[in-house]
Copies of this chain bind each other. A is one copy, B any other.
């Protein structure tokens, strides 16, 4: 990796508080790679060879079983994936593909593990990150087991609207079929669910969403901190 590229990624959250020389020794042997849209970046079941960090673009994390497939998460800049597999030196549990053209930082897994062994600050970083990731998945599991499809959609809309700064009009950040898979439903069901939100004054026109009565939507969604609050 070139020196100017190293500077671009040094500020990433996973390196926070980590000794500069350790960061550098990792980055020097890393790759900052560009991918076109629709490329499979990692495949479920393969041994974990790189820690991946999204620098630019969107990445879909998904998993297949028999003839089914489901989206586990959609990641943006700054987020990294398959950390657990790298730390434990196991196989990937999920696959990932680029949803848009993307730039990904690839850090060799053994370098990560070596730094993990040597630098306490880095170990703490990873532990905190893993703890956060763990809580995210737990929330998602509860979301799946405890809510209906319509409730999941309503809560996702509220959470996303919050995330992008509270604007009541926004575009869906990815295709509806991806959203459907992310929410754990068939595309047809998502379509109908959007229809079912019309009485709650949710306007859908293509990818444009307008929430014209947050209170009504919130009353339907009934968000709860232990599932929906990203900060808790």
| Chain A contacts to B: CB under 8 angstroms | 44-45, 63-66, 68, 70, 72, 83-85, 87-88, 90-94, 116-117, 119-120, 123-124, 126-128, 130-135, 137-142, 144-147, 184, 222, 224-227, 232
Contact in complex: A184, B63 (CB < 8 Å): no
Chain B positions within 8 Å of A117 at CB level? 124
- Known A120-B120, A133-B134, A134-B84; judge A72-B141 contact (CB<8 A): yes
A222–B88 Cα distance when bound, in Å, is 26
Chain B positions within 8 Å of A130 at CB level? 84, 127, 130-131, 134
A44–B137 Cα distance when bound, in Å, is 16
A83–B133 Cα distance when bound, in Å, is 13
Contact in complex: A90, B232 (CB < 8 Å): yes
Chain B positions within 8 Å of A90 at CB level? 135, 232
Contact in complex: A87, B222 (CB < 8 Å): no
Chain B positions within 8 Å of A93 at CB level? 135, 138-139, 142, 226
Q: Which residue of B lies closest to A84 (CB)?
A: B131
A126 partner, pick from B85, B127, B133, beta carbons under 8 A: B127
Chain B positions within 8 Å of A224 at CB level? 65
Chain B positions within 8 Å of A66 at CB level? 146, 222
With both chains docked as a complex, state the minimum distance between the C-beta of A53 and any C-beta of chain B, in angstroms: 17
A204–B158 Cα distance when bound, in Å, is 46
Contact in complex: B140, A70 (CB < 8 Å): no
Chain B positions within 8 Å of A116 at CB level? 124, 127
With both chains docked as a complex, state the minimum distance between the C-beta of A189 and any C-beta of chain B, in angstroms: 14
Contact in complex: B83, A227 (CB < 8 Å): no
Chain B positions within 8 Å of A87 at CB level? 127-128, 131
Chain B positions within 8 Å of A141 at CB level? 72, 137, 140-141, 144
Q: Which residue of B lies closest to A66 (CB)?
A: B222
Contact in complex: A132, B88 (CB < 8 Å): yes
Contact in complex: A142, B226 (CB < 8 Å): no
The contact sample of 13 A-B pairs, CB cut-off 8 A, is A64-B146, A65-B224, A84-B132, A88-B132, A92-B226, A93-B138, A116-B124, A116-B127, A120-B123, A124-B127, A127-B127, A134-B134, A141-B144
